[in-house]
């Protein structure tokens, strides 16, 4: 069975998820792969690389440009801006709690944070470097990075593999626990308002947890067809069907318009919504999801209750301090 057939089979299992399994507390730590255990030195190096615009061809774009850890982990743009003012066709997903995604990117083309970290650096629209060999040569020319990589990995360790492992190690620390929902689920009955509890119950009643389940509310199914139900008005306004989703990777017609199920954690902070960033407000996104995925018309009161519950998924953000980047001595790269 191929990777994509396996993932799509998993989608079918989502409908069997019990409501109870949706009400999980977010772990305070993310598991790391065996070949990339998290260490303080790796995290510090990854933090530097994540915030360093010198990993882009123009020296103007870093990972944090589109996935801002001083905000909700993205950039609040419909489409993120890369080198030379270029924009892609998708909205940047949040980096917060991305360690709990089973796959990365809207189309799931990366199986891990390490694989995800490699992509944007050499994407001509995003960070625009010609190759990872060019990136490694640039890092090798910066004395401070030579030391930081040696501290994290030992020896002459600068490579694509170690750079992406360091970035992934940093990203695994970007977790937002202790939301009002987490506290409520842990037994603090006053942590959520009555309206938020009504919204949580409505989410379960409607079946939203068939996809948005688990601690990160991103489900076991990984990919989901969107939209399920056609609607000419929404299509004309928001153009959801322009993007083929998973089919862009698998090249299979049956995968068209299937996307990774995004987390609902901190969703109140990550407007605009959907893969193309076409929807500006959370209440409109809730209304659209009910209609296009569940064929349900919600009242204003029901939408307000669900939005209130989604606000209860905003967690506590660990304090982020900007790293001191190693200096480029004696010249520039451009």
pLDDT tens-place string over residues 125-157: 999 999 999 999 999 999 999 999 999 999 889
Return the pLDDT at 222.
75
> Per-residue pLDDT for 160 more than 50?
yes
pLDDT > 90? residue 224:
yes
**Six-digit token pair at 165?**
């492992």
CA 254 – CA 244 distance, rounded (Å): 10
pTM value? 0.92
pLDDT interval class at 23 (50, 70, 90):
confident
The pLDDT value recorded for residue 30 is 95
Residue 8 has pLDDT above 90, yes or no: no
Whether 262 shows a pLDDT value over 80: the answer reads yes
Cα 220 vs. chain centroid, distance in angstroms?
16
Out of 74, 126, 171, 302, which one is annotated catalytic? 126
- Please give the pLDDT value at position 18: 36
**CB neighbours of residue 187 within 10 Å:** 7
> Given this chain, do its domains 3-26+176-311 and 40-171 carry the same CATH topology?
yes
Q: Which of 25-34, 156-165, 212-221 has the lowest mean pLDDT?
A: 212-221
The C-alpha atoms of residue 263 and residue 216 are separated, in whole angstroms, by 6
Q: What is the rounded (10 degree) CA torsion for 280, 283, 284, 286? A: 120
pLDDT at 120: 97
pLDDT of 10 over the 50 cut: no
Q: Who has greater pLDDT, 2 or 45? A: 45
Band (49; pLDDT cuts 50, 70, 90): very high
pLDDT of residue 334: 62
Of 213-222, 248-257, 307-316, minimum mean pLDDT range: 213-222
248 classed as catalytic: no
| CA proximity to 71, closest of 290, 269, 248, 205 | 269
Map out the domains of the chain as residue ranges: 3-26+176-311, 40-171
- pLDDT band for 221, please (50, 70, 90 cuts): low
Which residue(s) pair with 192 in the sheet? none
Task: Look at domain 3-26+176-311 and name its CATH class.
Answer: mainly alpha
HEC readout, the chain: CCHHHHHHHHHHHHHHCCHHHHCCCCCCCCCCCCCCCCCHHHHHHHHHHHCCHHHCCCCCCCHHHHCCCCCCCCCCCCCCECHHHCECCCCCCCCCCHHHCCCECCCCCECCHHHHHHHHHHCCCCCCCCCHHHHHHHHHCCHHHHHHHHHHHCCCCCCHHHHHHHHHHHHCCCCCCCCHHHHHHCCCCCCCCHHHHHHHHHHHHHCHHHCCCCCCCCCCCCEEECCCCCCHHHHHHHCHHHCCECHHHHCCHHHCCEEECCCCCCHHHCCCECCCCCECCHHHHHHHHHHHHHCCCCCHHHHHHHHHHHHCCCCCCCCCCCCCCCCCCCCCCC
Q: What is the mean pLDDT of residues 168-179?
A: 98
Q: Summarize the confidence of residues 58-84 as an average pLDDT.
A: 96
Domain 40-171 has CATH 1.10.760.10: yes
State the pLDDT at residue 156. Answer: 82
pLDDT above 90 coverage of the chain, percent: 89
pLDDT over threshold 60, residue 251:
yes
| Exposed e or buried b per residue across 273-293, where buried means at least 16 C-beta atoms within 10 angstroms of its C-beta | bbbbbbbeebebbbbbbbbbb
Give the position of tokens 């490694």.
136
- Sorted by sequence, the CB contacts under 8 Å of residue 39 that are 6+ apart come out as 152, 169
Instruction: Give the closest residue to 73 by CA, choosing from 108, 98, 109, 55.
Output: 98
Q: Which residue has the higher pLDDT, 330 or 260?
A: 260
């Amino acid at each position: 069975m191929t990777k994509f057939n396996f993932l799509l089979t998993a989608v079918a299992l989502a409908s069997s998820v019990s409501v109870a399994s949706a009400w999980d507390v977010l772990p305070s730590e993310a598991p790391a792969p065996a070949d990339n255990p998290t260490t303080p030195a790796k995290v510090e190096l990854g933090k530097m690389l994540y915030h360093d615009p010198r990993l882009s061809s123009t020296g103007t774009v870093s990972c944090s440009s589109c996935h801002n850890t001083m905000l909700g982990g993205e950039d609040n743009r419909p489409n993120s801006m890369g080198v030379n003012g270029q924009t892609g066709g998708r909205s940047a997903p949040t980096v917060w709690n991305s360690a709990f995604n089973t796959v990365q990117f809207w189309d799931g083309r990366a199986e891990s944070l390490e694989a995800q970290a490699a992509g944007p650096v050499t994407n001509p629209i995003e960070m625009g470097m010609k190759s990872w060999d060019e990136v490694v040569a640039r890092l090798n020319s910066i004395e401070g990075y030579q030391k930081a990589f040696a501290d994290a990995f030992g020896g002459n360790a600068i490579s694509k593999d170690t750079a992406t492992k360091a970035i992934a190690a940093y990203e695994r620390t970007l977790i937002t626990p202790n939301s009002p929902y987490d506290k409520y689920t842990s037994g603090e009955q006053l942590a959520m308002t009555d309206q938020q509890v009504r919204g949580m119950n409505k989410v379960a009643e409607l079946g939203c947890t068939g996809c948005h389940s688990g601690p990160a509310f991103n489900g076991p199914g990984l990919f989901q067809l969107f939209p399920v139900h056609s609607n000419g008005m929404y299509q004309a306004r928001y153009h959801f069907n322009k993007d083929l989703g998973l089919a862009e990777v698998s090249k299979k017609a049956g995968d068209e318009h299937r996307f990774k199920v995004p987390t609902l954690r901190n969703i109140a902070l990550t407007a605009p919504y959907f893969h193309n960033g076409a929807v500006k407000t959370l209440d409109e996104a809730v209304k659209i999801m009910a209609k296009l995925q569940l064929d349900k018309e919600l009242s204003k009161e029901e939408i307000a209750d669900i939005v209130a519950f989604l606000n209860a998924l905003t967690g506590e953000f660990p304090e982020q301090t900007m790293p001191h980047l190693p200096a480029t001595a004696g010249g520039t790269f451009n």
